[in-house]
Chains A and B, each alone.
Chain A
Amino acid sequence: MGSLEGIFSGVQLAFSFQGILFVFLGVMAGTLIGMMPGLGPISAIAIMIPLTYNMDPPIALVLMAGVYYGAVFGGSTSSILLNAPGISGTVATSFDGYPMAQRGEAGKALAIAAISSFVGGTISVILLMLFAPMLSSIAIVFGPPEYFALMVLGLTAISSLADGSTIKALISAVVGMMAVTIGIDTQTGTTRFTFGNPNLLEGIDFLVVALGLFALAEVCALIINRKQTTGKNDSIGSLKLSKSDFKDMSGPMGRQSFLGFILGILPGAGATIASFIGYITEKKITKKPEEFGKGAVRGVSAPETANNAATSGAFVPLLSLGIPGSGTTAVLLGALLVMDIQPGPLLMTDQPELFWGVIVSMYIGNMFLLILNLPLIPYIAKILSIPRPMLVSLVIMFSMIGVYSISFNVFDLYLLLIFGALGYIMRLLKFPPAPFILAFILGGMMEESFRQAMTMSNNDITIFFTQPIALGMLIVGFLSFIVPILQSLRQKNKNAVE
């Protein structure tokens, strides 16, 4: 039927001079903006919106999409080099990417991230081409009970993020969950823990917490423990990946391209949850979980594959249903509406050229990203050889610019400093920050979906156990939480007997 013709006209659009030019400009702008600590796809797209007002809509969409996945692609850079994640989707990358860079292998870490991103991006675009029309039904399977179960599953990761004391990891997570309750409660409209301060009504932005707990805390540590870390990590290391590196990457890249894509389709889950779940599953699968958190190849590869795959996945509900699955795609949807494009179930039949054009251009865009990023790595990694005092002030400056650009509100800068201080104190007392940020990201959605489900079921809690998908995920979550505890108990018993 007509769909072949549609694909053909899409290919034509994507390979036209304008199509190639703008996808190139888009991914270049996106990847450069994404590399800045604190600036992610939302800011990148928001910057682009005014430029596209008078552009031809399909070309504008090609450009915007390029900016979007370009920013996700570049987002890992600041996580790896500076421990300053610019978007929630690259937090998990910093867990192993930053230790790797600290070890003097920044070039390798960036190369792994770039290749994994490329593979994740490309495989998922192929999946998008093959299955987009069919997958739109998956996008709507998830309702509040399923989301609640998914968040619970994600939170069980805390036990695997614990680096040392499990109790401290749990405390860190609880505080993170408490922090996310600040603001207007979505289900009643009541304000919670705002102390009458209007700046807190919308709650605390993820970026403030991430940059405070990771980047600023790291900066404090760098300034105060200056003597302990000298010189060593200035080297970039070789870009070349060994055969065993590729072997390590192939598993995560293969698995996470699919898993990330599917999680990306679910509205609300997106790149962040995909990257965390990608990280956790690989940690559970691998034979050497003890390497995770200390600069494991798989630990960089898994979240980077997953978050880029999820980015393509996010286009399924956006283009085939008109449903934005994340903050970024919501901004993208707004931009499309301005351009007179109304994404919805009929977009594919009404404007096949646009629908397929964007998808094909994403394939080209991913090639560009790899070509752009790989040769740049030695130069980007040189950031680390900037003298420490300058580097430290640059990180502070970029963190502040990133936070200020969310809402142009000076209050957020004070919050950033508070979280920076909190992050440093947590570090001193050996409380891991990762569970905090995970609970902060997942906790809000977990609470909201729990309460939505309870309202829908008239406060009948069995709603979570009667839906097969929700029940399945809760069981998996319960097992992944309880099994390690049982194992460690058995280990202790054994030791006691001996």
Chain B
Amino acid sequence: MKKTWLLFLALFTMIVLAACGSADSSSDEEESASGSSDENWKPDQSIEIVAPSSAGGGWDTTARMAAEGFEEEGIIDQGLGVVNKEGGGGAIGWSYVAEKSGNPHHLFVGSPPLLLVPLNGQSEYGYEDFTPLANMISDYGAFAVREDASWDNLNELFDDMKDNPDDITVIGESSPGSMDHIQFVKIAKAAGVDPKSVKYVSAQDGSTMTNLLNGNADVYSSGVTETIEQVRADKIRVLGVTSEERMEGDVVEDFPTAKEQGIDETFVNWRGFFGPPDMSEAEIAYYEEKFAELNESEHWQETREKFAWNEMYMESEEYKEFLSEEKESMQELLNELNIQGE
């Protein structure tokens, strides 16, 4: 008798806990019926911004800073909360927001993995499944080598790569077919390197810089900010960055672009906000206005400077077009690399 009672208690605890997890989703459904199609839409509950990663990452920082900006500048008077839904390189967070179809109180932060992860067949939702609201900032890729490396610029590196692709190891954080790999291949291809010949190693345990410094890898493909400190310490050199024009700020202003080295290609690590599927015109207009206001605010300007982000504002329609072009060029590259989803 007592034994069954205990098992029962244990089971009960589990059920209550499991129910806690899904409780919020059921209450949201009711909200979705109201609102919509009004000319002037306003949020009637607090807004949730999903960072599809753990706390501390780029998506998380963007989400938290935007929420703080909205509140401090008094742009949105509803409460704003940032929620981390990490997993699957973003896929877990995306599928969470996709299920919120019709409830415009759930937003998320997106960047190129939103195109690449679905293209690699690792997420059933892509950007087309969401409502692009506004792009806010951009960041760029950097290609770094050790201080004592024999290459002085990107062209020397790529020429060497054409002759001896097996001798040059490129290392990056993300898996093949994702950002660090693609940004390198995109520029290398424009310089005439066969994308498939690039020897790319992924190190997802944070050992990328270590492996560049100790000579296990020759080139490090990363974001610009990750390279700054080692450049200042004269341990590494940045051969090229993927931006259109020289970046502004200490140290980074000395990084040459691929473009000025005669390689006519760029890679933008854009970052913006998306809503769930099927948002009405009025809802989109509301967020467009608010994000535009945030973009102009002093708080956001300071935030950009603090994190060395570049301004790259796009409103919903423009963003959508930009994304479709980006997706096409990524698809092309992935096809050439023979990486395909499904």
List the interface of chain A (C-beta within 8 A of B): 46, 49-50, 53, 139-144, 147, 184-189, 191, 198-199, 201-202, 219, 223-224, 226, 267-268, 317, 321-326, 330-331, 333-335, 337-338, 340, 342-347, 389, 392-393, 396-397, 400-401, 404, 407-410, 413, 417, 445, 448, 452, 455-456, 458
Contact between B121 and A191 (Cβ–Cβ < 8 Å)?
Answer: yes
CA–CA, A343 and B87, complex, Å: 27
Contact between B122 and A455 (Cβ–Cβ < 8 Å)?
Answer: no
Contact between A49 and B9 (Cβ–Cβ < 8 Å)?
Answer: no
Quick one: CB contact mask for B198-241 with A, threshold 8 Å, 1 for yes?
A: 01011111110111011111000000000011101101000000
Contact between B229 and A342 (Cβ–Cβ < 8 Å)?
Answer: yes
Residues of chain B in range 37-80 having any CB-CB distance to chain A below 8 Å: 54-57, 60-61, 64, 68
Q: Given the complex, which residues of A lie within 8 Å of B209, measured CB to CB?
A: 321-323
Contact between A407 and B21 (Cβ–Cβ < 8 Å)?
Answer: no
Contact between A322 and B87 (Cβ–Cβ < 8 Å)?
Answer: no
Beyond A191-B122, A340-B306, A393-B9, is A186–B233 a contact (Cβ under 8 Å)? no
Contact between A404 and B229 (Cβ–Cβ < 8 Å)?
Answer: no
Instruction: Look across to chain A and name the residue whose beta carbon is closest to the beta carbon of B82.
Output: A50
Contact between A143 and B214 (Cβ–Cβ < 8 Å)?
Answer: yes
Q: Given the complex, which residues of A lie within 8 Å of B83, measured CB to CB?
A: 408
Contact between B92 and A407 (Cβ–Cβ < 8 Å)?
Answer: yes
Q: Given the complex, which residues of B lie within 8 Å of A144, measured CB to CB?
A: 211, 216
Beyond A334-B61, A393-B10, is A342–B122 a contact (Cβ under 8 Å)? no
Q: Given the complex, which residues of B lie within 8 Å of A413, measured CB to CB?
A: 14, 17-18, 21
Instruction: Look across to chain B and name the residue whose beta carbon is closest to the beta carbon of A453.
Output: B216
Q: Given the complex, which residues of B lie within 8 Å of A346, measured CB to CB?
A: 229, 232-233
The 10 closest A-B pairs by CB, nearest first: A334-B56, A344-B229, A345-B233, A201-B88, A143-B216, A189-B175, A410-B21, A46-B55, A140-B214, A189-B177
Contact between B92 and A49 (Cβ–Cβ < 8 Å)?
Answer: no
CA–CA, A188 and B177, complex, Å: 8
Q: Given the complex, which residues of B lie within 8 Å of A201, measured CB to CB?
A: 87-89, 91-92, 122
Contact between B6 and A389 (Cβ–Cβ < 8 Å)?
Answer: yes
**Of A141, A344, A401, A407, which contacts B232 at CB under 8 A?**
A344
Beyond A46-B54, A401-B17, A445-B205, is A344–B85 a contact (Cβ under 8 Å)? no
**Of B10, B169, B204, B235, which contacts A456 at CB under 8 A?**
B169
Instruction: Look across to chain A and name the residue whose beta carbon is closest to the beta carbon of B231.
Output: A344
How many Å from the CB of A166 to the closest CB on chain B? 30
Contact between B7 and A458 (Cβ–Cβ < 8 Å)?
Answer: no
How many Å from the CB of A87 to the closest CB on chain B? 15
Interface status of B35 (Cβ within 8 A of chain A): no
Instruction: Look across to chain B and name the residue whose beta carbon is closest to the beta carbon of A417.
Output: B14
Contact between B230 and A344 (Cβ–Cβ < 8 Å)?
Answer: yes
List the interface of chain B (C-beta within 8 A of A): 2-3, 5-7, 9-10, 13-14, 17-18, 21-22, 54-57, 60-61, 64, 68, 83-89, 91-92, 95, 120-124, 166, 169, 175-178, 199, 201-207, 209-211, 213-217, 228-230, 232-233, 235, 306-307, 339
Contact between B13 and A396 (Cβ–Cβ < 8 Å)?
Answer: yes
Since A189-B178, A417-B14 are in contact, a sample of 14 more A-B pairs with Cβ atoms closer than 8 Å, ordered by chain A residue number, is A140-B210, A142-B210, A144-B211, A187-B176, A188-B176, A189-B176, A198-B123, A199-B87, A342-B228, A345-B235, A393-B13, A400-B18, A410-B22, A445-B205
Q: Given the complex, which residues of A lie within 8 Å of B86, measured CB to CB?
A: 202, 407
CA–CA, A143 and B178, complex, Å: 23
CA–CA, A109 and B132, complex, Å: 56
Q: Given the complex, which residues of B lie within 8 Å of A407, measured CB to CB?
A: 85-87, 92
Contact between B55 and A49 (Cβ–Cβ < 8 Å)?
Answer: yes
Beyond A198-B124, A334-B56, is A267–B85 a contact (Cβ under 8 Å)? no
**Of A139, A342, A396, which contacts B210 at CB under 8 A?**
A139
How many Å from the CB of B83 to the closest CB on chain A? 7
Q: List 30 A-B contacts (CB under 8 A).
A: A46-B56, A49-B55, A139-B210, A140-B213, A184-B122, A186-B175, A189-B176, A198-B95, A201-B91, A224-B3, A323-B206, A323-B207, A323-B209, A326-B206, A331-B56, A334-B55, A334-B60, A342-B228, A343-B229, A344-B230, A345-B229, A346-B229, A389-B5, A393-B13, A400-B13, A401-B17, A410-B21, A448-B204, A452-B201, A455-B199
Q: Given the complex, which residues of A lie within 8 Å of B57, measured CB to CB?
A: 334
CA–CA, A187 and B339, complex, Å: 12
Q: Given the complex, which residues of B lie within 8 Å of A338, measured CB to CB?
A: 56, 61, 64
Contact between B201 and A188 (Cβ–Cβ < 8 Å)?
Answer: no
Instruction: Look across to chain A and name the residue whose beta carbon is closest to the beta carbon of B86.
Output: A407
**Of A142, A223, A345, A408, which contacts B7 at CB under 8 A?**
A223
